[in-house]
């Protein structure tokens, strides 16, 4: 079964610190790796995504690092802010019209 | 553009009762998904529609769950009869491809 394994389950970071969330996948046919951010009572919202032809993608304070040989990718949140407190999900798909497979999520709390 | 609309936002039913959820996707998005999100877990795909045809319903418990997408626009998801373990948030998403899902805010179902 296609799986995406995410860690840690929860994370507490001080304001201004770096938050790091890791994911590992098994299916080498995956070619699209997005991260979603979910606030309580809301649906997940696309945060940033990467394709396997690049090793890193940065958008503002958010960076995805991708290691194809290790089948791992991670989300780094620089200068973490209390407003970043949310649940983060990694996901993967084979692109086209294939569906996203999600990790179990990481609950991030950024303390003031 | 308007987002994915879902209703109702909350529903409480007794086990063995039936319930239906409604979703209106973003205009022009041919692909529609229903996901189930159990508390503390990532979204799990139930069914994927392409226009009004089913692409993937392999994880839909067909003995109690059904879904339809008439005229390739709105969709309804029905559970009959509901079980305690169906308590979850039911998320609808739409996209032009798997590279850009947009989720609705979901329907929180509690089965007592």
Least confident of A2-6, A21-25, A70-74, B33-37: A2-6
Closest approach of chain B CAs to the CA of A44, in angstroms? 6
- Please report which confidence band the pLDDT of residue B90 belongs to, taking 50, 70 and 90 as the band edges: very high
Minimal CA–CA distance to A90: which of A38, A53, A39, A54? A38
- Please report which confidence band the pLDDT of residue B98 belongs to, taking 50, 70 and 90 as the band edges: low
Q: Percent of chain B at pLDDT above 90?
A: 85
Mean pLDDT across chain B = 94
pLDDT of residue A98: 80
Based on the number of CB atoms within 10 Å of its own CB, is B92 exposed (0-12), middle (13-18) or buried (19 or more)?
buried
Q: For A38-52, write each residue's pLDDT tens digit.
A: 999 999 999 999 999
CA-nearest residue of chain A to B96?
Answer: A97
Q: For A71-112, write each residue's pLDDT tens digit.
A: 999 999 999 999 999 999 999 998 766 889 999 999 999 999
pLDDT of residue B94: 94
pLDDT of residue A95: 72
Contacts of B96 in chain A (CB under 8 A): none
Q: Percent of chain B at pLDDT above 70?
A: 97
- Please report which confidence band the pLDDT of residue B1 belongs to, taking 50, 70 and 90 as the band edges: low
Average pLDDT over residues B66-74: 91
pLDDT(A11) > 90: yes
B98 or A30, greater pLDDT: A30
Average pLDDT over residues A6-20: 97
State the best of A86, A87, A97, A98 to mutate against chain B, taking most chain B CBs within 10 Å. Answer: A97
CB distance B21 to B32 below 8 Å: no
Residues contacting A72, CB < 8 A, separation 6+: A22, A23, A24, A25, A66
Minimal CA–CA distance to A46: which of B103, B5, B27? B103
CB distance A48 to A78 below 8 Å: no
Closest approach of chain B CAs to the CA of A14, in angstroms? 23
pLDDT(A27) > 70: yes
pLDDT of residue A81: 97
């Amino acid at each position: 079964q296609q799986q995406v394994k995410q860690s840690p389950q929860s994370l507490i970071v001080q304001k201004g610190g770096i938050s790091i969330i890791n994911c590992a996948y098994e299916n080498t046919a995956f070619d699209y790796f997005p991260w979603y951010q979910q606030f309580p009572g809301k649906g997940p919202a696309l945060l940033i995504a990467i394709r396997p032809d690049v090793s890193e993608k940065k958008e503002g304070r958010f960076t995805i690092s991708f290691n194809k040989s290790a089948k791992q990718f991670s989300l780094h949140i620089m200068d973490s802010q209390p407003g970043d407190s949310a649940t983060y999900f990694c996901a993967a798909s084979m692109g086209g019209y294939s569906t996203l497979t999600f990790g179990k999520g990481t609950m991030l709390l950024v303390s003031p | 553009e308007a987002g994915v609309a879902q209703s109702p936002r909350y529903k409480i039913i007794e086990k063995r009762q039936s319930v239906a959820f409604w979703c209106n996707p973003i205009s022009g998005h041919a692909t529609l998904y229903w996901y189930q999100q159990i508390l503390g877990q990532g979204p799990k795909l139930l069914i994927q529609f392409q226009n009004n045809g089913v692409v993937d319903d392999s994880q839909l418990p067909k003995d109690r769950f059904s879904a339809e997408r008439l005229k390739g626009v709105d969709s309804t998801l029905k559970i009959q009869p509901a079980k305690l373990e169906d308590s979850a948030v039911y998320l609808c998403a739409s996209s032009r491809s798997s590279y850009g899902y947009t989720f609705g805010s979901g329907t929180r179902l509690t089965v007592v």
